[in-house]
Amino acid sequence: MVFTKVNSKVVRVNVGQAGGVVARTGAMLFYTGDVAFSPHQVPGAAHMGGAGGLMRMAGRMMQGEHERTMLAQGYGDVHYGFAGLEVHPVDLAPGAVLRVEASRLLAYTAGLQSAVVSVAGASSGGGGGGMMGMLRGAATGALTGQGMFTTQLSGQGGAVLLAHGGVLELQVGGPAPVVVDPQAFVAAYGNVSTELKSALSWRDAVGRGSGEAMQLHCVGQGVVYVQASEEKL
């Protein structure tokens, strides 16, 4: 593992061996060695300009998906943790993709390609991207508490997830989908498509808990990470 789990709430990483680490601001607990920190920007978080009201709204939501981050470079060990939340390291194989909400992402190796993408575009089972995809994403966010956008990491390296009450790894790939409460969903690894489904009408769904009204169906090949809580981060 690139990130070593010190205990349930702290990870350690050798910055030199990792090739640099990007972590959310305020997550660095302490370090040893010669390490420098500088502000870091996720690609795509500031490029949704000027095409009308809906696009500007989408741009603001994209900015909201991006948590402020710092890049650590140099030589030494850095310990990370955040708000006493549970940590869960994940190693990414070459060519792998990890999709996770920025609020649930503690840190990742700087060599990974990172971008903010639309939820509709990231989920091939969700009916397409574009403006209609954004509108579907906005409706999804209103009902489930998730945003229109998600952070996508790809390449070879490591990342650390944050969660309330620990993380469960659910294998996706059988004949039946893995069905998750959207507020318990943390991340998806691999070729996993997600589709939000409801057994209720929209009028009945509004105002109810997502477990009653909305369910996230996960299909494909990979892993879905679920926290042991429906509490937001």
CA 64 – CA 102 distance, rounded (Å) = 9
- Which pLDDT band holds residue 41 (cuts at 50, 70, 90)? confident
Q: Kindly list the domain boundaries of the chain, sorted by start residue.
A: 4-227
Per-residue pLDDT, 19: 98
- Which pLDDT band holds residue 198 (cuts at 50, 70, 90)? confident
- Which pLDDT band holds residue 195 (cuts at 50, 70, 90)? confident
Per-residue pLDDT, 80: 99
For residue 167, the tally of other CB atoms under 10 A from its CB is 21
Q: Answer yes or no: is pLDDT of 100 > 60.
A: yes
> Average pLDDT in the 107-118 region?
92
Q: Which CATH number fits domain 4-227: 3.40.228.10, 3.40.50.1820, 3.60.160.10, 3.20.20.70?
A: 3.60.160.10
Per-residue pLDDT, 150: 86
* Closest C-alpha to 189, from 130, 104, 132: 104
Per-residue pLDDT, 158: 98
CA 196 – CA 127 distance, rounded (Å) = 11
Most confident of 45-59, 70-84, 113-127: 70-84
Mean pLDDT of the chain: 81
pTM: 0.80
Q: Are 65 and 146 in contact (CB under 8 A)?
A: no
Q: What is the pLDDT of residues 154-191, one digit of tens each?
A: 999 999 999 999 999 999 998 999 999 988 999 999 99
Q: What is the pLDDT of residues 184-193, one digit of tens each?
A: 999 999 999 9
Per-residue pLDDT, 61: 45
Q: Answer yes or no: is pLDDT of 8 > 80.
A: yes
